[in-house]
């Protein structure tokens, strides 16, 4: 049995599209998903733009024949996972050793917030059914059961690197011979807790965010879900003759610098990228495109930029932050960007920054500003860095 890990299919729902085709069309049209809040009930709806999935909960539930009472996190997760598994016979899939590894940071907190709206005014009121899906693992369990998957199931929550770590764990379990097929990714829905928390840190932009730009002031929060179907060589021969790409490298590090910030010199990001390159056996010059973590905060872009310079200077590959289109989807971001990375390899695409005007002082990084097609893309490096210094880099490669 071969030890390669292949990406057989993907599924995604994000602020710029309700499936893969719509997401790619949004890049084609250079259309950001960042706008004034429509669905999240918040006192800050006129102050901070958000990147929301353009469906109400009722519309999502009706579209996928799900219970309207489910958390938005479950609804988004099911939408993306169902698309990822759409080409495959579920019964045949379960004849192999399967896994479902999902990630989230907020779980069903949107429903918990609704419960407390009533409870804080009257401790005898509030529907406890609203909090039954609060735990981060509940969306994973629900979606796995609804999809009829049988096998290994777990949830990862490592802040904004969560779904990148879910993909890395899936790849490791296939490489070690424990599983044959893994649906890996993550989901997060916007909540007031998230917005208020990031606002307290004073890192939310009141306008369209400008990652990797000297004028950046913060991020736009977003929501969404994405999953990749990973397969061993044996499973891929059975199910997926048209493989999208393979995962050739990955690495997780922690710089242990600060609860909500990366080390100033970018040590964690540097070690993650360096480790992924070493595992893949690639040189920095082999990388065709970097999907930067690129949140648009002062700390992240400076630290990630310094780390990229240490590895790639003076010959930089094309790079950008797709969060300028989708917003920062927290625990879902690594998987959403894994989908984009897979498409970059499979379709020869380079994704742009939505805006870019001025390079960061002292750095030589200049992101792409146009969506490029029919480009030779052999290897993509995708970065996902989370609170607590949890840093993960994935490398996707052409077969």
**364 neighbors 140 (Cβ within 8 angstroms):** no
293 is catalytic: yes
Burial class of residue 52, CB neighbours in 10 A (0-12, 13-18, 19+): buried
Indicate the SS3 state at residue 388. helix
Distance separating alpha carbons of residues 182 and 5, to the nearest angstrom: 10
136 is catalytic: no
List the structure tokens of 201.
């840190």
Indicate the SS3 state at residue 42. coil
Q: How far is CA 239 from CA 169, 275, 316, in A?
A: 21, 31, 37
Distance separating alpha carbons of residues 167 and 156, to the nearest angstrom: 10
What is the Cα 384 distance to its own chain's centre?
8
**Active-site annotation holder among 133, 293, 379, 391:** 293
160 is catalytic: yes
Indicate the SS3 state at residue 88. coil
Q: Whose CA is closest to 77, among 190, 226, 229, 192? A: 226
List the structure tokens of 26.
């949004």
Distance separating alpha carbons of residues 331 and 155, to the nearest angstrom: 11
Buried b (16+ CB within 10 A) or exposed e, 172-185: ebbbeeebbbbbbb
**Active-site annotation holder among 136, 144, 160, 251:** 160
* Number of Cβ atoms within 10 Å of the Cβ of 89: 10
**Active-site annotation holder among 9, 133, 328, 379:** 328
* Catalytic residue annotation: 160, 293, 328
């Amino acid at each position: 049995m071969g030890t390669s890990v292949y990406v057989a299919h993907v599924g995604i729902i994000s602020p710029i599209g309700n499936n893969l085709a719509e997401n790619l069309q949004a890049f084609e049209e250079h259309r950001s998903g960042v706008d004034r809040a429509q669905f999240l009930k918040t006192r800050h709806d006129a102050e901070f733009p958000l990147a929301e999935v353009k469906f109400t909960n009722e519309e999502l539930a009706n579209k996928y024949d799900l219970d309207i009472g489910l958390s938005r996190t479950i609804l988004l997760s099911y939408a993306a996972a169902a698309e990822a598994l759409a080409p495959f016979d579920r019964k045949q899939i379960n004849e192999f050793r399967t896994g479902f590894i999902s990630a989230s940071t907020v779980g069903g907190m949107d429903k918990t917030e609704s419960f407390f709206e009533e409870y804080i005014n009257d401790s005898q009121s509030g529907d406890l059914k609203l909090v039954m899906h609060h735990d981060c693992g509940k969306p994973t369990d629900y979606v796995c059961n609804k999809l009829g998957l049988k096998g290994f199931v777990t949830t990862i929550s490592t802040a904004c690197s969560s779904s990148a770590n879910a993909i890395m764990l899936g790849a490791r379990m296939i490489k070690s011979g424990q599983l044959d097929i893994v649906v890996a990714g993550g989901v997060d829905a916007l909540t007031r807790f998230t917005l208020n928390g990031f606002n307290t840190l004073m890192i939310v932009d009141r306008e369209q965010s400008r990652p990797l730009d000297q004028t950046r002031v913060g991020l736009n929060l977003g929501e969404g879900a994405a999953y990749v179907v990973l397969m061993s060589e044996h499973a891929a021969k059975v199910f997926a003759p048209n493989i999208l790409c393979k995962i050739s490298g990955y690495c997780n590090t922690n710089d242990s610098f600060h609860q909500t910030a990366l080390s100033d010199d970018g040590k964690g990001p540097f070690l993650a990228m360096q480790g992924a390159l070493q595992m893949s056996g690639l040189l920095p010059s082999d990388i065709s495109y970097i999907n930067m973590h690129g949140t648009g905060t002062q700390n992240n872009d400076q630290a990630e930029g310094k780390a990229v310079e240490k590895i790639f200077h003076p010959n930089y590959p094309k790079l950008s932050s797709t969060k300028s289109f989708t917003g920062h989807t927290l625990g879902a971001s690594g998987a959403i960007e894994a989908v984009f990375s897979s498409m970059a390899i499979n379709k020869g695409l380079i994704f742009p920054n939505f805006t870019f005007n001025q390079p960061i002082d002292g750095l030589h990084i200049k992101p792409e500003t146009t969506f490029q097609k029919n480009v030779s893309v052999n290897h993509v490096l995708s970065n996902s860095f989370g609170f607590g210094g949890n840093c993960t880099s994935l490398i996707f490669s052409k077969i």
